[in-house]
A and B are shown apart, each in its own frame.
Chain A
Amino acid sequence: MPGNWYLASYNYKFNISHNSHFLKKLKDKKVVGNQCSGCNRVFFPPRLVCGKCLVKPDQWVDLRETGKVATFAIVYLKDSETGEIQEKPTVLVHQDGSDTAIITQLNPEVDFKDTYVGMPVKIHWAENRTGGLMDIEYYDVLEDDAEDMNSTKD
């Protein structure tokens, strides 16, 4: 007996009021995170409550546009029209100055074989920014000038 659950019909309500400042800043090409006054951790994107200290992070911190690839996986997706299998890295980026990693994507022109943990990346802003997470269209890859790159990159 085939069945289906229409997930899109679920109506979840979220309090994202703590994000409004962050989303507004994204529209102006600025990256901010909020900082917990208890443990000094910086959250990007912002969190409503710090899970460690159970206090509301109340301080806004400016962050750089750069970050590092914290980890990555390569997704193999079949194009529904051409049937061609595309290989694309999906990455978690650790933004410089923050203490959390965010799931995002890399520049589609990057060859997936070149991805590695610790790769420096920089935000590529979307043309039309609407004040949402998609304002960060993807991350561009920066030149890696670290000396130990050759010994650690596998």
Chain B
Amino acid sequence: MMDFSALSDRMQDLIHTPGVTPLAFLIAFLAGAGHAVAPGHGKTLAAAYLAGSRGRVRDAAWLGGSVAAMHTFSVLVIGIAWTFFSLSDLVRMEQLTTWLQVAAGLLIVATGVWMLRRHLSGHHHHHHSHSHSHSHDHGAGQDHAAGPAHAVGHDHTVGLDHAVGHDHAAGSDHAVGHDLAAAHDHAADHEHADGHGHGHDHSRRPGLLLLGISGGLTPSPAAFLVLATGLFLGRAGFALLLVLTFGIGMAVVLFGVGLLAVAGSSLVTRSARTFTLLTRATKVTPVLAASGITLFGAGLVTIAAVHLTAVS
């Protein structure tokens, strides 16, 4: 098994070694991936969220990307504050990271509650008629005939997948060449997920971004140390590139986990139309996932709060 603390140590060595070597980036990438592989970095959350919200490949990419961006930002802000603004005189790093863990936990709870509310309200109003105007212009090459009930006034399930940011009316890209016939199955439990480039994934993004921010909020000590060392040695640019690469390593792991969850859940969902038991299972999965995420967040907040009393 690879020793990731050795990788982190090697990364620190390379920031001290003159020159910029490709090896440094490889090590930073592996250290980031290793950091994400370690327990408790949102992999199970990502999987649960994507399975629970019937996410797509693009959602997994969003999740990985937002973790990388947030982690880099967090390391950068704390590294600069620590190096140049005497942050350590105000708050010990251990206290700061514990507070950040509390914040991350609260974000996760918020995501879980948001998922639960969204799902439950979606079920209760399943046939609520959603009166948005569907006035887009279906251009050439769209086989509209095979898409059932896609006329004016079709039932959109408010709060399931359409609720947030779904912009049918305001001249969205909806008209541009998407094939409504392929999988636009409004009749079958309102599933938009399969291969339908509709922009409905916008509705999952608030949750994804919250999870991403939560996953990247607490800086990895190794990445923080690389940036602080780089700032001390006058190699801030190189250090930031390494931190970015570290974040990309984290993102790739989370993306991979997300892909597995997406593949798993879409297979189950697709087959669920045939099997009654599975249909029930796919309906329960989002609730389980949302509850799991909420519980996880609550657990994280509790543990961080207990830790906070120990370090303060």
Determine if chain A interacts with chain B. Answer: no
**Which positions in A face B, CB cutoff 8 Å?**
none
**Which positions in B face A, CB cutoff 8 Å?**
none
